[in-house]
Amino acid sequence: MRQLKMLLDEMHQYVQAFNRNNQVLHENWQDKKSDQFSSTCITIVNNTCQEYMQTVEQVQVGINSSIEQLKAMEQELAKELNSPEWAYKG
């Protein structure tokens, strides 16, 4: 999960750098195509990346919560199995 987040962060940084470079070109050349490219490509990729990151983070929180619940259940079961009530009374 951590590696996925690192890769997504890296991808997001590349998109941001690409956006900055496109903005520099637009400002220096006053290129109207860069506006179109920014709105049809860079903005969409950036938004999709952010949405995916948020989804991954939410899933990670859910998984961590489930892990904690399972650990608590494991501890309760261990207590029950080790309690004297489970001893064989023959």
* Whole-number Å distance between alpha carbons of 20 and 43: 12
pTM score of the predicted model: 0.61
Tell me the two tokens of residue 75: 């501890």
pLDDT at 42: 77
Please give the residue range of the domain that contains residue 52: 2-86
User: pLDDT by residue (tens digit) across 18-68?
Assistant: 878 877 877 887 777 777 877 888 788 878 878 888 888 898 899 999 999
- DSSP calls for 48-73: HHHHHHHHHHHHHHHHHHHHHHHHHH
Of 49, 66, 47, residue with least CA distance to 5:
49
pLDDT at 66: 95
pLDDT at 1: 67
Question: What is the domain count for the chain?
Answer: 1
pLDDT classification of 74: cutoffs 50, 70, 90:
very high
